[in-house]
Chains A and B, each alone.
Chain A
Amino acid sequence: MKFLDEYRDEALAAKLVDEIRHVVTKSWVLMEVCGGQTRSIAKYGIDRLLPDELELVHGPGCPVCVRSLEMIDKAHAIAARSGVIFCSFGDMLRVPGSDCDLLVLIARRGCSRRLFADRLPEDRAGKSGEEGCIFLQSVSRPPRPQMRCRFFRPAR
C-alpha cells in the first residue's frame, strides 16, 4: 500500500540493522522519549532486531503518556458536572480514564456548548459571563511533566 509499504521494507530494515551492527563496537544505552516510539518498537519487534550491545530504555514519555489515571479521573469528574465549562486541547481528548475519555463525556453530556476543546481558556472565560471555565492542561516543564486543572475567571 502506497505510503505504508515504503516504511515497512524488510530488506531496507535488514540493511539498516547491518549498518547498526557494524558501528556498534561497545555497549550503548539509548532512551526513546515518546510513548509512540516505544509502541512502534514493540509493535514491529525492532528491539529484537538490534544487536545485544544496544540496550533500549523506555521513557520518560510526554505529559500525555505519563499522566496519572487519578488525575484524569478527577478531571473527568469535573467535566461531567452540569454547568461546568471545561476546556482542553486535543491531546487530552482521547486519553482514557477509568470509565471513558473526554470525547465520550462530550457525547454523554449532549451539550457541546458546555465542553470545549481546542479553545484558548482565556477566550472562553471572557465569553462566559460570571462563570469562568476549567482548563485541563498537560505541561512539559522540568523537573517532571505535569498535568493540572486551572480555573479562569472572566476579565472584569
Chain B
Amino acid sequence: MSVFQASALTEIAQSAKLGMLLDEAAIPISEEVKGACEILGLDPLYVANEGKFIAIVAHQDANRAVETIRTHSLGKHAAVIGEVVDEHAGLIMMKTRVGGMRVVDMLSGEQLPRIC
C-alpha cells in the first residue's frame, strides 16, 4: 500500500518466492512527482522514497487495512496497488496505464534520465 519503491517490493517477491501483479493506475503518486519524473525521464517507481509503507495482508482484510491507515493524516493516500498471484513466482508484473504488461525488476545501477 501507499507509494513504494519498486526495488523494495521486488526484494520481498524474490525472497518469499511470490508472484505479484500490480496495477499502475492504482499506485498513488503526487502530481508534483509525476510532472518532475516526466520532464526528467525518470521512473517514479525507482526514485528514492523514504518513509513509505508497504503492507501485504490477506485478501479479505485489504480494504479494511486501507481504511484504517487512511484515518491517519500520513496515510490518507493509502491504496491497494496489487495482489499476490499464483503465477510467475519471484516476479512482479504490472498492468500499465495504457493496458500493457511489463516486468517490474530490481533497478540496475542508477536511473538514466532522459537524454533525447
Contact = CB atoms under 8 A, between A and B. Distances in A.
Interface in B67-104: 94-102
Contacts of A126: none
B115 A95 contact: yes
Interface residues of B, number: 22
B97 A65 contact: no
A94 B99 contact: no
B99 A64 contact: no
Contacts of B64: none
B101 A4 contact: no
A8 B100 CA distance: 11
Interface string A57-86: 000001011000000000000000000000
Contacts, number: 64
A9 interface: yes
Contacts of A17: 99
Interface residues of A, number: 26
Contacts of B102: 42-45, 48
A18 to B, nearest CB: 11
A114 to B, nearest CB: 24
A35 B116 CA distance: 9
Nearest to A2: B31
A20 interface: no
Interface of A: 1, 4, 8-10, 13-14, 17, 34-36, 42-49, 62, 64-65, 91, 94-96
Interface of B: 25, 31, 34-35, 38, 43, 94-102, 109-110, 112-116
